[in-house]
Amino acid sequence: MKKRFPDIVYNSVSLIGAIIALIAAELIFFLTVIEFFARNQKPYMGIVTFIILPGILIFGLLLIAYGIFREYKKKKAGKATGKQLPIIDLNNPRQRTAVTFFAFGTVILLAASAVGSFKAYEYTDSDEFCGTLCHTVMKPEYTAYKHSPHSKVGCVQCHIGSGAGWFVRSKISGSYQVYSVLFNKYSRPIPTPIENLRPAQETCEQCHWPKHFYSEKLVKVNHFLPDENNTRSGISMLLKVGGGNSQTGNTYGIHWQMNIANDVWYYASDESRQTIPYVKFINKETKKVKEFITDGFTLTPDKEKQLRKMDCIDCHNRPSHIYNPPDKMINLSMSNGTIDTSLPYMKSMAVQVLEEKYLNTGEAMSRIPVLIKDFYSNHYPELLRQKSSDIDKSIDAIKNIYANNYFPEMNVSWKQFPNNLGHTYSDGCFRCHDNKHFDKEKKSITNDCNSCHTILEQYTPESGSQVSMKGLAYAHPGGLTGNIRNQKCSDCHSHTK
């Protein structure tokens, strides 16, 4: 066989390197073509094609270079010619072929690895990488995300944002996360809030202009009681989102008061920021400061250092991975008809089976139908026969709610991740607006039911239908009497109650 390259290329180490590199290159080419034509993106394929194989390819190339270098040193030691570097003679046709070959090869390789590393970068930023690669770990976030208003916004848009600094930071902390997944060192659930989440100014506010004005938002919900008839009540209210800026028009409402015209600082005594004994309220225009404190709290210098400035995430803490409470989801399914309201005790049963403890999603999927059918066969055997298809349809809807909101493998549900946007199932706004935070004049942060929303219409069987444009006093379903104004809704409706 005619040798095309100089002798020093022909050594066993370089040969092995060449074979490894060639196989890796072929595989990369082959998998890239497959990926190009594949209908569904495959998360694991990306990691092989764009991260593992190129690594092997580079290893092979290094091996070739190392073989040549070793061979060259050996030769030099044998025939001490006194020359420091090999002489390339382009008049020698064999050397010319070799140089041309290497030059072309290097250019093509550089181009290919540029494309390759871009693909690798793109891939580690994709939602599939974030959401599915670590299957069980990110399953709750990924599942909830797919059903959220932000399902078309990438994970990285909120978790990393733009700019090199946060990119590097995220890849460094990401490497630790990959380690913790491989060695099973992660906590279940993943703790929240994220200490080092990128500030909202650099993420949310890149898409949502804080001074944008939103008019009142109509919130209309049906509620069903946990009684035999699943008694319905309903409420329509205008939520005063507001916002705005004085140059373009209206300025009022929740966003204006809490986010634009004023700065709010607070101290939370627990890691999940659910207990807030101290609030400082600064009017941006007049610079007037008001402090609201709960009984028995003093702000030490140590605590003062831990004050947090309120931003979007203190209210919108679940913009994308929302784990809903059972009452909320069953109310929704009953009002849109996916769960049959004519089935006796359906509301109560549905909430109970969702809140049952299961080892994993699989067990929940097989136990839920059994539990519901047992109940009907014990108490309404006739109905189980007559309405079996309606019962089955309702069971499917309940299983669906479970699969999208409960993740027993990761110990994730609404209980570990309260939503702060509201005040029914967790304290939310009432962490501060609870009539227990007072300023120097003994005035509390407002708890007036009409300051954040206006109830336009409500219906309960006890108080009938009521409509008023001025706003109604809330009628609690089920005729709950006594003064519930002195209690928080979450005193009775949160999971600890």
Q: Which of residues 123-142 bind ligand HEC (CB under 6 A)?
A: 127, 130-131, 138, 141-142
Rule CB under 6 A: say whether 145 interacts with ligand HEC: yes
Q: Whole-angstrom Cα distance, residue 296 to residue 269?
A: 13
Q: Whole-angstrom Cα distance, residue 280 to residue 297?
A: 13
Q: Tell me which residues in 278-307 interact with ligand HEC (CB under 6 A).
A: 279, 281, 290, 292
Distance of closest approach, residue 72 Cβ to ligand HEC, in angstroms:
50
Of the candidate residues 422, 434, 454, 472, the single one contacting ligand HEC (CB under 6 A): 422
Task: Note the Cα 111 to chain centre separation in Å.
Answer: 35
Rule CB under 6 A: say whether 407 interacts with ligand HEC: no
Distance of closest approach, residue 299 Cβ to ligand HEC, in angstroms:
14
Distance of closest approach, residue 76 Cβ to ligand HEC, in angstroms:
55
Q: Tell me which residues in 433-462 interact with ligand HEC (CB under 6 A).
A: 433, 445-449, 451-453
**Interacting stretch for ligand HEC, rule CB under 6 A, among 39-47, 48-56, 171-179, 218-226?**
218-226
Rule CB under 6 A: say whether 349 interacts with ligand HEC: no
Q: Whole-angstrom Cα distance, residue 88 to residue 94?
A: 10
Q: Tell me which residues in 154-183 interact with ligand HEC (CB under 6 A).
A: 155, 157-159
Q: Tell me which residues in 30-59 interact with ligand HEC (CB under 6 A).
A: none
Return the sign of the alpha-carbon dihedral for residues 174, 175, 177, 181.
positive
**Tokens read off for 351:** 């909430």
Q: Tell me which residues in 318-337 interact with ligand HEC (CB under 6 A).
A: 319-321, 327, 331
Q: Which one, 130 or 364, has the nearer CB to ligand HEC?
A: 130
Q: How many residues bind ligand HEC (CB under 6 A)?
A: 92
Q: Tell me which residues in 67-126 interact with ligand HEC (CB under 6 A).
A: none
Q: Which one, 61 or 155, has the nearer CB to ligand HEC?
A: 155
Of the candidate residues 25, 53, 241, 346, the single one contacting ligand HEC (CB under 6 A): 241
Rule CB under 6 A: say whether 495 interacts with ligand HEC: no
Contact (Cβ atoms closer than 8 angstroms) between residue 328 and residue 493: no
Of the candidate residues 24, 31, 63, 254, the single one contacting ligand HEC (CB under 6 A): 254
Distant-in-sequence, close-in-space partners of 437: CB < 8 Å, separation ≥ 6: 276, 279, 292, 293, 294, 444, 445
CB atoms near residue 27 (< 10 Å): 16
Distance of closest approach, residue 170 Cβ to ligand HEC, in angstroms:
12
Q: Which long-range contacts (CB under 8 A, 24 or more apart) does 260-263 make?
A: 260/210, 260/211, 261/285, 263/309, 263/310
**Interacting stretch for ligand HEC, rule CB under 6 A, among 20-28, 151-159, 338-346, 362-370?**
151-159
Rule CB under 6 A: say whether 354 interacts with ligand HEC: no
Q: Which long-range contacts (CB under 8 A, 24 or more apart) does 418-421 make?
A: 418/272, 418/274, 418/494, 419/317, 419/318, 419/322, 419/324, 420/314, 420/315, 420/316, 420/317, 420/318, 421/315, 421/316, 421/317, 421/318
Q: Which one, 55 or 191, has the nearer CB to ligand HEC?
A: 191
Q: Whole-angstrom Cα distance, residue 64 to residue 204?
A: 49
Of the candidate residues 68, 334, 353, 429, the single one contacting ligand HEC (CB under 6 A): 429
Using left for φ > 0, alpha for ψ between -120 and 50, and beta otherwise, residue 293 falls in beta
Rule CB under 6 A: say whether 206 interacts with ligand HEC: yes
